[in-house]
Structure 1
Amino acid sequence: MARPDPDAVKQAAQTRLVAFVIAGTMILWMGAQWLGSRMGWDARYVFLLDFAALAAFFWAMVVTYQIWRRRRG
C-alpha cells in the first residue's frame, strides 16, 4: 500500500482544523449569546464575544483560502 503524500496529509489536517474552528466558534458563540441574555450581561461584553467570533471566522476564511490556493497550484 502506498504512503500518502505528506502535503496531502498536512492539507487534510488543516482542513479538519478549520472545520473544528468553524463549528466550535459557532457553538460557543450561540451559547455565549444565550448565556449573556439569561444573565443580563452588559452589551460591551456581548460585543467582545461577537468580535472574538468574527476573528475566528476570519482566521478560518484566510486558512481556507490558503488551502484552496495550494490545491490549485
Structure 2
Amino acid sequence: MHPKTGRGTHPASATANALLEEIAVLEQRLRVMGVDGDCAYERAISKLYTRMVEERRQQLADLQLAAYA
C-alpha cells in the first residue's frame, strides 16, 4: 500500500521505483568515489557500479516494454 495515498501499488510500478532508487544510489556512489579511483580497488568498484547501473537501466527498460506489451 502506498504510504501517502493509501492505495495499493502496482507490482511493476514498485519494481520500477526500486530500480530507479537503486540506480540513484549507485550513481551517487560513483560521483562520490569518482570514475577513476586512486587505487585498483576503487577502479574495480567503479567498474562494478557502472555495470550495475547499466544492468538496472536495462531491467527498467525491459519492465517498461513488458508493461506496454
TM-score normalised by L of structure 1: 0.66
* Identical positions, percent: 10
Q: Does 1:25 find its partner at 2:26?
A: yes
Number of residue pairs aligned between Structure 1 and Structure 2:
62
Structure 2 gaps, min length 5: 1-6
The structure in which a higher percent of residues are helix is 1
Whichever residue aligns with residue 18 of structure 2, its letter is L
Q: Larger C-alpha radius of gyration, 1 or 2?
A: 1
Question: Deviating runs (4+, > 2 A) in structure 1?
Answer: none
The equivalent residue for 2:17 is: 16
Match status 1:63 vs 2:49: no
> Structure 2 CA distance, aligned partners of 1:17 and 1:48?
25
Q: Which runs of 5+ in 1 are unaligned?
A: none
Work out which structure has the larger RCO, using CA pairs closer than 8 Å and 6 or more positions apart in sequence: 1
Which AA in structure 1 matches 2:19?
Answer: V
Q: What is the TM-score when the length of structure 2 is the normalising length?
A: 0.69
